[in-house]
Amino acid sequence: MTGNNNPWTAGSPMTRRRLLNAFAVAGGLGLASPLLSACVPGSSGGGEEKLAPSPSAAASGTVTLWMRDDDLLKVFKTVIPAFNKKYPDVKVNMVGVDIATKLPPTLISGTGVPDGSFYEDVNIGAQAAHLFDLTDLMAPHAADTLQFKLDVATYDQKLVAVPWDTDPGMLYYRESVLSDAGVDPASLTTFDSLLDGARTIKEKFPKAQPIPLEQDANLGMQWLMMMINQQQGTGLVDANGALTIDTDAFRRALTWIKTVADEELGARSKFASTGHVAQLDDGTISLVPWAIWFNFLPQTGLKTTKGDWRVGLLPAWEEGGARSGVMGGSSFVIPKKAKNPELAWLFYEFAMYDPAGYGTVYGPNDTYPNGLNTALPSVKAALEGPPLFKPVAALGNQDLWSIDTEAAKAIPPGYRIPSWFNSAAAYLGVNMQKMIDGKASVDEVINVSVEQITKNLVDRQR
Amino acid sequence: MTSTSVVDPAVERAAGSVLPNRRPSRRGWVGYALIAPFFILFAAFGAYPLIFAIQLSFTDWRGSGSVNWIGLSNYTYLLTNLEFWGSLANSGVMWLLIVPIQTIAAVAVAALLSRSNLRFTKVLRTVVILPYVTPMAAMAQAFILLFDTNFGVTNYLLGFLGMEPIGWLTTTFWSKPTIALFVLWKTSGFALIIMLAAVQQIPGEVYEAAAIDGANRVRTFFLITVPLVRRSVAFFVVVSTLGISQMFLEPYVLTKGGPYTSSKTSGLYLYDHIGASDLGTGAANSFLLVILVLILSLAATKLLRSED
């Protein structure tokens, strides 16, 4: 018998080698074709830049909106019935998604793109090219929006997001600790007086390290940015994208942080970690210059000191200076490849600028019986209107609304978030950690950070 | 002189019965149809992404806009960057802290569980393998609680011995050993599965012969068990090397690469590029790791097979 049973050779026109060759050729074509055609996934060329719907009660269709998959999803779902009273033919499909992980690849691949999405301000810049320019649509609302929120969402003179929350810096403190140490909270009006207050507390309670010194490089850098924004408006860069690290504001803020560390007035831990919570509860930490959202800890995270925490305005860097700075914040973006971007705009406009919308978001609801008080609207009309959330026992039933809104309105304009903001934590954030640990001087932090950020981030933004 | 066919047509006709036909037989098409799903899936999800990534590594593409060919720029940037080498060094230290200990311990425990008369061996196997099948996030949280500087159980116990608390996850000296300990805890079950399979394949007669010749347990282990599981050890070392070169979740969950960059592994450094949408540099970083792992794996395999 001469027959060959091997399917690779017997009766086959294609040998194994030929098949492999065919794959090699296909591979070669695969290698060459995308470059030749310049057709890469998510290439945003050719898409409409500006979104220009005509808001109308006749709008109809289904809109898919991505929301962070936590309590905010529950809160924003409560807006839908009110929205549907105004736009009855729009079906809102709000989906909880791990947005930081999933939105960038979705925008790049162009597959399964939502009509709109929640997005943290620090992440928007890196994806700005995939987002609609909303400048014209936002024009009627611009005067009613805090300026810094418009600044952080503007890239190449295009406003690419609908501003949502404002996260001002505040000063949280333990009333009983300050009272026992004889520190009057009303005296903490400057960062120098805050330092004096911490020294007084340490004299009274030698084990105290009243001010938290964040151990996470990224969050630590955001804390520093709050102090920088407070002093000079800008953060890491100015409106032209030029680095603003080698400035008096940075030098002053870093020197203050170094003093806290050198005098052992600062407690090292990561925000909301087990250690941090214990330090807050056992009196190690009692003065917390931090973003408004620190207040979720007294409300839900702390075990023994609920009700002992109070909030005041952030100290100024000099008498009469700004009493707040920005630390965090989020907005809503509309991808260029969305199927129903107009409907997404209608929802966001309603939720952000219609009193029925923002009143529902921040007012009492099933998720937050006293209202959402870990952030504030960015709409001036809302900030100047009646309180949206109520006092809470965990913060001594203070009039939170008045203090928080005063801080929000004090945030200086001019804050810009470069597209490489998060990556800068590997340089400025890490160098600041070294300084806190006594391994670098203020000048070294500034000089080395400028060099590293210029080489690895600024110069590589082609 | 013109070229002419040197094959006699009669011979060609005769050979026609054994040479392949130009047209495929029906049976041949069935064969191709059966293997086609694999090749289609491989081409779509294996070959194409690989080729695309190679191409990407020579561009400055950031996920939007035009694609610019920049030659070897991403590679030279990485190869002249201390952070890249630092991440490799961190991964190298992790390898040294994990692989030798884990391999030797896995062979020893596998031999013990297979050949000894220990009671409760099935329970012991389950206990050792349990961490391997437990979700990483849950284990990491438990580990963070155990090794917290100020409030962790570990430092609490050290305090009983009069020792100062150690910054297990917050100091540059201890961050890598602590992560290595976590990896050992988490993955030693996998090592044990591999080595148990290898040890159990060794014929019992070999051990009986050794016993008759008067070999004690220690000599039996080193002269019989270890040489006969050499191939499995080579396999495990290669797989571990691959795993450590890609190690991401463990340092990300425990230290986020810190303090400073002391526990930033090559996988975490690579993620930084992708997270920053610097896709070209990320792709170049990937291929440099592929080359490095290939060299290390070949070396490990050659070394462990050299005395076959």
Last residue of a domain, one of B74, B105, B140: B74
Nearest chain A alpha carbon to B264: A426
Q: Residue B260: its chain A contacts at CB < 8 A?
A: 217, 430, 433-434
* Distance (Å) of CA A32 to CA A360, B66, B220, B287: 53, 16, 58, 18
Q: Tell whether B107 and B40 lie within a shared domain.
A: no
Check pLDDT > 60 for residue B230.
yes
Backbone angles phi, psi at A422, to 5 degrees: -60, -35
- Return the residue matching tokens 């290669």: B238
Candidate CATH numbers 3.30.1330.10, 3.40.190.10, 3.20.190.10, 3.40.50.10300; the one for domain A177-326+418-458: 3.40.190.10
Q: Tell whether B97 and B214 lie within a shared domain.
A: yes
Q: Tell whether B82 and B53 lie within a shared domain.
A: no
- Number of neighbouring beta carbons within 10 Å of residue B85: 13
- B165 and A CB contact within 8 Å: no
* Distance (Å) of CA A121 to CA A118, A144, A158, A329, B141: 9, 19, 15, 6, 28
In this predicted model, what pLDDT tens digit does every residue of A356-397 receive, in sequence order? 999 999 999 989 999 999 999 999 999 999 999 999 999 999
Q: Residue A426: its chain B contacts at CB < 8 A?
A: 83, 261, 272
ipTM of this model? Answer: 0.80
Contact assignment for B20 to A275 by CB distance below 8 Å: no
Contact assignment for A430 to B68 by CB distance below 8 Å: no
In a domain, B4, yes or no: no
A382 near A192, Cβ under 8 Å? no
Distance CA A353, CA A377 (A): 9
For position A362, what pLDDT does the model report? Answer: 96
Contact assignment for B24 to A14 by CB distance below 8 Å: yes
H/E segment holding residue A120: strand A116-120
What's the one-letter identity of residue A402? S
Last residue of a domain, one of B41, B56, B74: B74
Q: Tell whether B189 and B243 lie within a shared domain.
A: yes
In this predicted model, what pLDDT tens digit does every residue of B160-207 receive, in sequence order? 999 999 999 999 999 999 999 999 999 999 999 899 999 989 998 998
Distance CA A219, CA A56 (A): 42
Q: Tell whether B62 and B101 lie within a shared domain.
A: no
Confidence of residue B24 (pLDDT cuts 50, 70, 90): low
Question: How close is the nearest chain B Cα to the Cα of A85, in Å?
Answer: 38
Mean model confidence pLDDT for chain B: 87
SS3 state at B236: helix
Lowest mean pLDDT among B75-89, B109-123, B182-196: B109-123
CA dihedral B219, B224, B229, B233 (to 10 degrees): 30
What is the total count of domains within chain B?
2
In a domain, B201, yes or no: yes
What's the one-letter identity of residue A351? A
CATH 3.40.190.10 range(s) for chain A read: 61-167+328-388, 177-326+418-458
State what percent of residues in chain B have pLDDT above 90. Answer: 56
Question: How close is the nearest chain B Cα to the Cα of A431, in Å?
Answer: 8
Among A8, A12, A432, A435, the strongest candidate for a mutation testing the B interface, having the largest count of B CBs within 10 A, is A12
Q: Tell whether B181 and B257 lie within a shared domain.
A: yes
Structural tokens at position A298 = 């007294």
Structural tokens at position B177 = 């050993």
Confidence of residue B138 (pLDDT cuts 50, 70, 90): confident
A40 vs B61, B144, B151: nearest CB: B61
Q: Tell whether B35 and B122 lie within a shared domain.
A: no
| Angle between the N-to-C axes of helices B230-245 and B82-115, in degrees from 0 to 180, rounded to the nearest 10 | 150
Sign of CA dihedral A434, A437, A440, A445: positive
Q: Tell me the DSSP string of A331-353.
A: EEE-BTT-SSHHHHHHHHHHHHH
Angle at A228 (CA atoms; ends A224, A232), nearest 5 degrees: 175
Q: Residue A30: its chain B contacts at CB < 8 A?
A: 47-48, 51-52
Pairing of strands A169-174, A309-313: antiparallel
What's the one-letter identity of residue A89? D
Contact assignment for A274 to B17 by CB distance below 8 Å: no
Q: Residue B277: its chain A contacts at CB < 8 A?
A: 104, 108, 126-127, 419
A31 vs B24, B54, B279: nearest CB: B54
We report the CATH number of the domain holding residue B263 as 1.10.3720.10
Question: E-assigned strands of A237-337?
Answer: 266-269, 287-291, 309-313, 330-333
B236 near B103, Cβ under 8 Å? yes
Last residue of a domain, one of B58, B74, B90: B74
How would you list the strands of the sheet with A309-313, edge to edge? A287-291, A169-174, A309-313
What superfamily would CATH give domain A61-167+328-388? Periplasmic binding protein-like II (3.40.190.10)
Contact assignment for A129 to B272 by CB distance below 8 Å: no
Confidence of residue B306 (pLDDT cuts 50, 70, 90): low
Question: How close is the nearest chain A Cα to the Cα of B56, in Å?
Answer: 9
Ranges of chain A with pLDDT below 70: 1-48, 52-57, 462
From first CA to last CA, the distance across chain A in angstroms is 68
The closest of A143, A120, A166, A314 to A230, measured between CA atoms, is: A314
Please give the residue range of the domain that contains residue B145: 75-305
In a domain, B214, yes or no: yes
- B76 and A CB contact within 8 Å: no
